[in-house]
Amino acid sequence: MTNYASEAQAYWRRWLPRAHATLTAPDAFYQQLGDDVQDRVATVWDTLTEIHVTPDITDHTKRAGLLQLLRREAEHTVMQALVQLPPEADTAQPHTEPAAHQARLTSFDTRLAQQQATIHALLDGARTLGETSDTELLQALQLMPELLAALGTSLDELRAFGRAL
């Protein structure tokens, strides 16, 4: 079992005990969940490193530290979306059947693709901030809060121009 699968199993046992108890094949479920998390972490990390790791970072220690920070950021983003579902309340129980898990994956993948497309278009100059909706910009900022600095602006400046951010 991967580390992500083990973390997911521990989280679900602690915070989602009823959902965990309803799993008909828990080992297979957690293994698949761990594999899904691992794939998405790699995708998010690749996107973050494309944006943050620039040729001017020549110091090995700084570069390694940045890569590790970006890896942790990617792991946090994916774990929050796919594993760390809200804890069970007295009446709430997350959907654990494969279709519900697949729906979460599809939703996450769609959101990630949109965020990546927006970030790349802005950084490549294919799109301006004025051509980007507030919703698209907010989604991109969730993945990469440093985007505005890279574009030479700030939230305060955009809000001064009437953007609802």
pLDDT, tens digit (0-9, with 9 covering 90-100), for 49-71? 888 877 777 788 888 888 898 89
pTM of the model: 0.60
**pLDDT higher than threshold 70 for residue 106:** yes
Q: Please, which residues have CB within 8 angstroms of residue 57's CB and are 6 or more apart in sequence?
A: 63, 66
Task: Give the three-state DSSP class for 161.
Answer: coil
Instruction: Name the token pair of 165.
Output: 């951010």
CA 1 to CA 28: how far, in whole Å? 9
Angle made by CA atoms 117, 145, 101, in degrees to the nearest 5: 60
Of all residues in the chain, what percent carry a pLDDT higher than 70? 90
**pLDDT higher than threshold 80 for residue 151:** no
> Mean pLDDT throughout 74-88?
90
> Mean pLDDT throughout 93-116?
76
Residue 91 is predicted with a pLDDT of: 38
Between 149 and 130, the more confident residue is: 130
Q: Which residues of 88-111 are buried (b: 16+ CB within 10 A; e: fewer)?
A: beeeeebebeeeebeebbeebeee
Residue 140 is predicted with a pLDDT of: 79
Q: Which of the four pLDDT bands, split at 50, 70 and 90, describes residue 135?
A: confident
- Per-residue model confidence as pLDDT tens digits over 29-51: 999 999 999 999 999 999 888 88
Rg for the chain (alpha carbons), in Å?
A: 19
> Mean pLDDT throughout 99-125?
82
> Mean pLDDT throughout 88-108?
69
